[in-house]
Amino acid sequence: VLGRNEWDIVQEETFAPILYLIPYRDFDEALALHNDVPQGLSSAMFTTNLHHAEAFLSARGSDCGIANINIGTSGAEIGGAFGGEKETGGGRESGSDAWKQYMRRQTNTINWSHDLPLAQGIKFEIND
């Protein structure tokens, strides 16, 4: 079943392992659909196109607090600033980093390998 960006379930933050397949014409439309939700905690894009990856991570790209390339959205890297943008997350309004609340920032990762690593290097060993 192909999804539609205006569906309620697509517009809500479900915290569930759901994959939405939403058709788009080009990268710019895909990015507009991606950013057209009220939340902005974490995002990911899988691509081999360096220009699209750079655009997704740039100021005109993903408007989420965490943006990843070729790695999923599960888990947060311990060393990165964590908190959502828009209507998600608690913000970062206290402590020595309070001034950063007025800046747009995000934690970015790019994975160009053939493997799909999990957050913090977690590995699941499967014995046959």
pLDDT tens digit sequence for 80-115: 555 566 776 665 554 456 566 677 777 888 888 888
Pick from 81, 79, 35: which is nearest to 55 by CA? 35
Q: Give the H or E element holding residue 43.
A: strand 42-45
Q: Where are the domains of the chain?
A: 8-113
Separation of first and last alpha carbons in the chain: 34
Name the pTM for this structure.
0.66
Strand pairing partners for 108?
67
Q: What residues does 69 pair with on adjacent strands?
A: 45, 110
pLDDT at 115: 85
* Superfamily of segment(s) 8-113: Aldehyde Dehydrogenase; Chain A, domain 2 (3.40.309.10)
CB neighbours of residue 109 within 10 Å: 16
